[in-house]
Structure 1
């Protein structure tokens, strides 16, 4: 029960369609089973409700779209209304191919703006509204999902740029809020077997899921197999818990050794 009596807001707790579990849903389930009261936030209310159902332990769904600041602010306010505290903010929203991301020579203004708004601006706005609460408490944990794409070769310009910016923003928030007892860290998933990573590529390429999965598996040094959402959820649990109480400003790879191989 490492998160006993903690209040967590997970933005992006639903998931896109696919055969496997997404990072946000797995993290919500993991947090709830460790004793946290979890607000499962997603623009798809039905998906958030399914996450809350699977998480149990009093988890609650809330509808909000990170493209709208007022809705992000409302999610933070809802956690305070329900439980009076905000101990953990976890930003799990991300967009790449589904938002029209492309190589630098092919990117459109519309796609660039949309992916940036979801990946980076939404994170900044969530932190904007969480920080005053956590500063008053003199405690809090801010987590996010960046990506190994931030530091490795990646073909699509906006996803890479925004995920790299998330690392810089994480460092800034950690540095400027350490005096308040607030920790801020980000996770860099590598090649994961999640609906966003695999099933989205299946839909966009017309290849079979087994073909996409096999190609990705072959690139992972550790056991030649992608990670799962549970790997990301376990990393988030550690960073949210008191076991990581002296860790802040860190970008933690969860990638089966891929970044080490590249380095």
Structure 2
């Protein structure tokens, strides 16, 4: 079940800044590699990507990485070209980059808005721009999985209008493109994480915990979830694996929400 033997997966944002814990991109890369995929990754910081590469190779997987600016057309094209030159195809594309900056329309500076749109949304367009023509020429087609957020589905309790807008746009970008490519053997779907425990979450606790009480901050996030706990990067990775595998071959243009029930709840988030 859910085997990806011999399939080539191009993943953006797979870097890992430390050896402890797992970020979403790194966990996705590891999970796909465990199921037989050949990983080719692009990341803003090469050292972070190489850390993930080493962890995958230590478990017997195959992974190559290169430095990539996903907001720059030439850099993204170079990533795609390098992957095809090495492996001859791209079977799976995972867009995982993203960043949230606080602010409402009245307070957010224009340059911050533009940066958010470029990183969170334009990056998805650029990889799709170069990868979709490759996938539609392949007899086996391909699968694209874009990582959004529940912030694109509902207000999650803090002003981050650019992040919310771009993550919502990713969902509709995926839906529209999925319909366009539905008869070309190319599927596009979105995974939509809720509150997920990652090393970045712990870093947020260090920065924002009231009175410096990190444990209380983490408990507050757990309590916001109907299941009373945050998910982790492996929950997102498992969902991504399903959408990448042949077992989901009749699923396209959909969102798979991984949130412990938040978006089905009327409670505070």
TM-score (ref. length: structure 2)? 0.91
CA distance, structure 1, for counterparts of residue 152 and residue 114 of structure 2: 18
Task: Look up the SS of the partner of 1:187 in the other structure.
Answer: strand
Give 1:201 deviation, angstroms. Answer: 5.3
* Structure 2, unaligned runs of 5 or more: none
Give the 5 Å matches for 1:31-42. Answer: 31-42=32-43
- The corresponding residue for 2:248 is 244
The worse-fitting range, judged by mean Cα deviation, of 146-155 and 192-201 is: 192-201
The question of whether the paired residues in 1 share the 8 Å contact of 2:209 and 2:217 is answered with no
- The corresponding residue for 2:121 is 120
Give 1:48 deviation, angstroms. Answer: 0.4
Give 1:28 deviation, angstroms. Answer: 0.5
- The corresponding residue for 2:96 is 92
CA distance, structure 2, for counterparts of residue 146 and residue 197 of structure 1: 17
Equivalenced residues, count: 259
CA distance, structure 2, for counterparts of residue 76 and residue 64 of structure 1: 10
Give the 5 Å matches for 1:1-263. Answer: 2-16=3-17, 20-56=21-57, 57-97=61-101, 101-138=102-139, 139-154=141-156, 155-200=159-204, 202-203=206-207, 207-222=212-227, 224-262=228-266
Sort the Cα spacing of 1:186 and 1:176 in 2 relative to 1 into closer, same or farther, 3 A: same
Task: Look up the SS of the partner of 1:217 in the other structure.
Answer: helix
CA distance, structure 1, for counterparts of residue 17 and residue 108 of structure 2: 23
* Structure 1, unaligned runs of 5 or more: none
Give 1:51 deviation, angstroms. Answer: 0.5
Sort the Cα spacing of 1:145 and 1:198 in 2 relative to 1 into closer, same or farther, 3 A: farther
Deviation by residue 1:46-99 (Cα, 9 ceiling, x = unmatched): 1101101111212111110112111111111111011101000100000103xx
